[in-house]
Amino acid sequence: MKKDFVISGVILFLGGLLLFFSTNGFTAFTMEAQRLQDLKDRPPEFPNIEVVDNKGRKYDFDEFEGKHMLMTFIYTSCATACPEMSSNMKYVYDMIDPALYEDDLVFLSVSFDTERDTVEVLDRYAGYFEADGGSWRMLRVPDEDDLEDILDMYGVTVIPEGDADYQHNTSFYLIEPDGRLGEVLDYREVGQAVETIEAAVAEDAEVSAR
Amino acid sequence: MKQFRYGLTLVIFLALPPARDLLESVMAFHMHMQMMLLFVAGLLMAPFFQKHFGHIFGKYNETGLPGVVLFLIILLYWMLPRAMDEALELWYVELWKFISLPFLAGVPLRDSWKKISRTFEVVLFLVLMVIFAVLAYLYIFAESTLCNNYLMIDQQTVGWGFAFLVLCIIMYILLVLFTDQSQYFGDDSESA
């Protein structure tokens, strides 16, 4: 009887170790959480891709190097999460001190539906949210490998659903000026997103002022 | 011995690539069929191990408690959303699934089942009910996908599957509480 308690204890202990190590110390219960942890630890690297914005301008992604980026991944024919996410992004956009957009911050909505989201479509979509194409740009990534690269880099999963829809991560991705993933923010928590963004930009300004 | 052969055949069948592909393509199949069947295969194989390695069970699983604890640990591990994702993406986790569910959950539970009391059985069912109820809630109401490899709708299906299991357990417990089992199974059920 007593022996059985000891054995049960040992099994519990070993089982606890198994659960501890397989969840990275009880911090990552989903693979997604683990991936975000890994992404944050990754050395900085800037996406080396070519993009086209909603004004039809074509440039390399390093255009944004040195700025904080608030990025979302969307497709314009999405009827569920994307419009909500984009209108929340607009709230955030409007709430942030406009001075920051000069050289510290840029908002990017990246479409992963390259086929349907042409420059015209993106520009129309940008119009709905009053994205000016300067401090808030809607981007398409013409090259398929490039698109794969950036999705992979920030850990965005896109799974086709039915014929015309996608299931995808809906978060605000705050990217550091060196291209590293800074924070993944809940798009529903607008106030918190504003705070986090402003804090990140302010912290960097302090560092560079020193 | 017949049971052992059935169990082993079941494990081998489930490990065949077409069967694996099919059962892992839908989340509900993966969790509620493949994993469940692997566990059942373990139950079927238990008598073989009891016969050939009886002294080990006798020595280390005297009261049945260690077996139940082991079963619960393995169960909890496979309820982690990431365990299921990793089984799809890492071959050694997949292998671990085919070993742990039959041999570390099914076999010890069957060995313990005869040894534990009627009350303990009901307690164990209640524990399972709570675990499954939590999972049902988690999977049905989660606002984001918990498994990268599956869609939201798959996830909700799995949640309803858990809700169904909870319902089954509740009905079973009520059945045991309010019927006289000895009328059906003779004296082996009415010991308390």
Question: Quick one: pLDDT at residue A100?
Answer: 80
pLDDT in tens, B113-158: 989 998 899 999 999 999 999 999 999 998 777 887 888 889 999 9
Counting Cα atoms < 13 Å in the Cβ hemisphere of B38 gives 28
Indicate whether A11 and A109 sit together in one domain. no
pLDDT in tens, B30-45: 999 999 999 999 999 9
Q: Which of the pair, A134 or B183, is modelled with greater confidence?
A: A134
Question: Quick one: pLDDT at residue B192?
Answer: 42
Indicate whether A50 and A22 sit together in one domain. no
> What is the percent of chain B where pLDDT is above 90?
69
Closest C-alpha among A183, A159, A167 to residue A37 = A183
Indicate whether A33 and A86 sit together in one domain. no
Name the band, by pLDDT with cuts 50, 70 and 90, for residue A203.
Answer: confident
Q: Do B77 and A12 touch (CB under 8 A)?
A: no
Name the band, by pLDDT with cuts 50, 70 and 90, for residue A187.
Answer: confident
Phi/psi for B175 (5° steps) reads -60, -45
Q: Are B71 and B125 in contact (CB under 8 A)?
A: no
Residue B118 to chain A, least CA–CA distance (Å)? 18
Indicate whether A119 and A159 sit together in one domain. yes
Question: Quick one: pLDDT at residue A124?
Answer: 92
For residues B75 and B69, give the distance between their C-alpha atoms in angstroms, rounded to a whole number.
10
CATH code for the domain of A102: 3.40.30.10
Is pLDDT at A181 greater than 80 in this prediction?
A: yes
Indicate whether A10 and A48 sit together in one domain. no
For residues B76 and B87, give the distance between their C-alpha atoms in angstroms, rounded to a whole number.
15
Question: Quick one: pLDDT at residue B104?
Answer: 94
Is pLDDT at B191 greater than 70 in this prediction?
A: no
Indicate whether A106 and A85 sit together in one domain. yes
- Select the residue of A12, A161, A167 nearest B69 (Cβ to Cβ): A12
B-chain CB neighbours of A5 within 8 Å are 65
Q: Do A4 and B83 touch (CB under 8 A)?
A: no
Is pLDDT at A13 greater than 90 in this prediction?
A: yes
pLDDT in tens, B167-188: 999 999 999 888 877 777 655 5
Question: Quick one: pLDDT at residue B189?
Answer: 45
Q: What is the ipTM of this complex?
A: 0.81
For residues B1 and B48, give the distance between their C-alpha atoms in angstroms, rounded to a whole number.
6
A166 DSSP β-pair partners? A160
Question: Quick one: pLDDT at residue B190?
Answer: 43
Q: Is A78 annotated as a binding residue?
A: yes
Average of per-residue pLDDT across A57-72: 90
Indicate whether A67 and A167 sit together in one domain. yes
Is pLDDT at A183 greater than 90 in this prediction?
A: no
For residues B168 and B174, give the distance between their C-alpha atoms in angstroms, rounded to a whole number.
10
Domain ranges in chain B?
A: 1-115, 117-192
A-chain CB neighbours of B152 within 8 Å are 167
Q: Are B83 and B93 in contact (CB under 8 A)?
A: yes
Question: Quick one: pLDDT at residue B185?
Answer: 67
Query: Would you tell me how many other CB atoms lie within 10 Å of the CB of residue A17?
Result: 10
The CA distances from residue B58 to A9, A180, B49, B73, B191, in Å, are: 18, 56, 12, 21, 22
Question: Quick one: pLDDT at residue B187?
Answer: 53
Please state the domain count of chain A: 2
Q: Does A17 touch chain B (CB under 8 A)?
A: no
Query: Would you tell me how many other CB atoms lie within 10 Å of the CB of residue A33?
Result: 17
**Residue A11 is part of which domain span?**
2-38
